């Protein structure tokens, strides 16, 4: 799995970050994140599966310090290069860590005010590993600290419609399972687990995390692999984006979207 993400690092910004679909889904995440950050200053932030650092740089530009972690060293290399180009190296540090490596010892006993994970990184681990991660995050987070996580649920309306239109019934409902689903990433098939919001909330609750909010991400805006179709139809994609921004604020459609954002707070 690690090799797959090493391979895509150089092209990830072109194929997702700067794609029309990718930009519109990230806009929904940043709207929620920016509202959360607005009243807070000088936070210590731990980012999981940081990818090429787009979110880390965004948070750093708002005055926060970010430790950006990823299991793919090539992703971290891109993050460091972008941070240097934008003169943010003093606010964005990187560390080569997988989810299993997120422990107080590996993080030099640091404590963080916010843990952030974007765009399905947590779908690379099963419920057993999620439980361990939730416990470790509680140990590295300040009292009253928060987690904001963006995860793929077990059903996506736009994905099902996209594949039903192609008469591919297997892919239309592939998320609806507790088992790992092999997803092609470059030359590898990466095992992927889809996590329902209620299930994820229950796992984090075991370790003192209280759910504080949800937000659908990509209820109308489709998954990124549809970029060849929707990217060439900007008027249609703009309309879907408006619907997402106006109609999915309260998280009622989380279980039907491409991703959902869920916020937890560590009990004092």
**What is the per-residue pLDDT for 1?**
59
Domain segments of the chain as ranges: 2-153+193-266
**What is the per-residue pLDDT for 92?**
98
Is the pLDDT reported for residue 188 higher than 90?
no
Structure tokens at 201: 């909330």
Measured distance CA(255)–CA(235) in Å, rounded: 26
Assigned superfamily of 2-153+193-266: Vaccinia Virus protein VP39 (3.40.50.150)
Percent of the chain with pLDDT over 90: 88
- Distant-in-sequence, close-in-space partners of 225: CB < 8 Å, separation ≥ 6: none
State the average pLDDT over residues 249-263.
91
How would you classify the pairing of strands 181-185 and 141-151? Answer: unpaired
State the average pLDDT over residues 208-220.
96
| pLDDT band at residue 5 using 50, 70 and 90 as cut-offs | confident
Which residues, listed in sequence order, are joined to residue 112 by a DSSP beta bridge?
141
| pLDDT band at residue 137 using 50, 70 and 90 as cut-offs | very high
Its pTM stands at 0.96
Is the pLDDT reported for residue 242 higher than 70?
yes
**What is the per-residue pLDDT for 7?**
82
Q: Report pLDDT digits (tens) over 111-133.
A: 999 999 999 999 999 999 999 99
Q: Report pLDDT digits (tens) over 80-104.
A: 999 999 999 999 999 999 999 999 9
Measured distance CA(224)–CA(120) in Å, rounded: 12
Measured distance CA(135)–CA(116) in Å, rounded: 15
State the average pLDDT over residues 33-48.
96
**What is the per-residue pLDDT for 166?**
93
Say how far residue 110 (Cα) sits from the centre of its chain.
22
**What is the per-residue pLDDT for 2?**
58
State the average pLDDT over residues 26-44.
96
Residue listed under structure tokens 């059903």: 155
pLDDT, greater one: 4 or 16: 16
How would you classify the pairing of strands 188-192 and 181-185? Answer: antiparallel
State the average pLDDT over residues 246-264.
90
Q: Answer yes or no: are the C-beta atoms of 215 and 33 closer than 8 Å.
A: no
Provide the mean pLDDT of the chain.
Answer: 95
Measured distance CA(51)–CA(78) in Å, rounded: 8
Measured distance CA(21)–CA(25) in Å, rounded: 6
| pLDDT band at residue 8 using 50, 70 and 90 as cut-offs | confident
Maximum Cα–Cα distance for the chain, whole Å? 52
């Amino acid at each position: 799995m690690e090799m797959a993400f090493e391979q895509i690092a150089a092209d990830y910004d072109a194929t997702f970050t700067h794609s029309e679909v990718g930009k519109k889904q990230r806009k929904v995440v940043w709207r929620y994140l920016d509202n959360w950050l607005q009243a807070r200053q000088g936070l210590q932030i731990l980012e999981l599966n940081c990818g090429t650092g787009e979110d880390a740089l965004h948070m750093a530009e708002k005055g926060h310090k970010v430790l950006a972690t990823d299991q793919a060293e090539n992703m971290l290399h891109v993050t460091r290069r972008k941070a240097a180009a934008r003169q943010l190296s003093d606010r964005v540090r990187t560390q080569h860590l997988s989810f299993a490596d997120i422990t107080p010892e590996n993080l030099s006993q640091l404590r963080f005010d916010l843990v952030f994970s974007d765009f399905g990184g947590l779908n690379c681990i099963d419920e057993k590993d999620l439980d361990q991660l939730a416990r470790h995050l509680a140990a590295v987070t300040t009292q009253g600290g928060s987690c904001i996580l963006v995860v793929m649920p077990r059903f996506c309306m736009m994905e099902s419609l996209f594949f039903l239109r192609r008469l591919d019934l297997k892919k239309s409902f592939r998320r609806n399972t507790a088992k790992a689903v092999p997803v092609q990433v470059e030359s590898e098939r990466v095992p992927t687990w889809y996590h329902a919001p209620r299930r994820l909330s229950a796992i984090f609750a075991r370790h003192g995390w209280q759910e504080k909010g949800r937000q659908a991400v990509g209820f109308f805006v489709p998954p990124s692999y549809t970029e060849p179709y929707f990217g060439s139809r900007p008027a249609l994609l703009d309309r879907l984006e408006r619907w997402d921004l106006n109609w999915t604020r309260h998280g009622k459609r989380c279980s039907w979207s491409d991703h959902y954002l869920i916020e937890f707070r560590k009990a004092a």
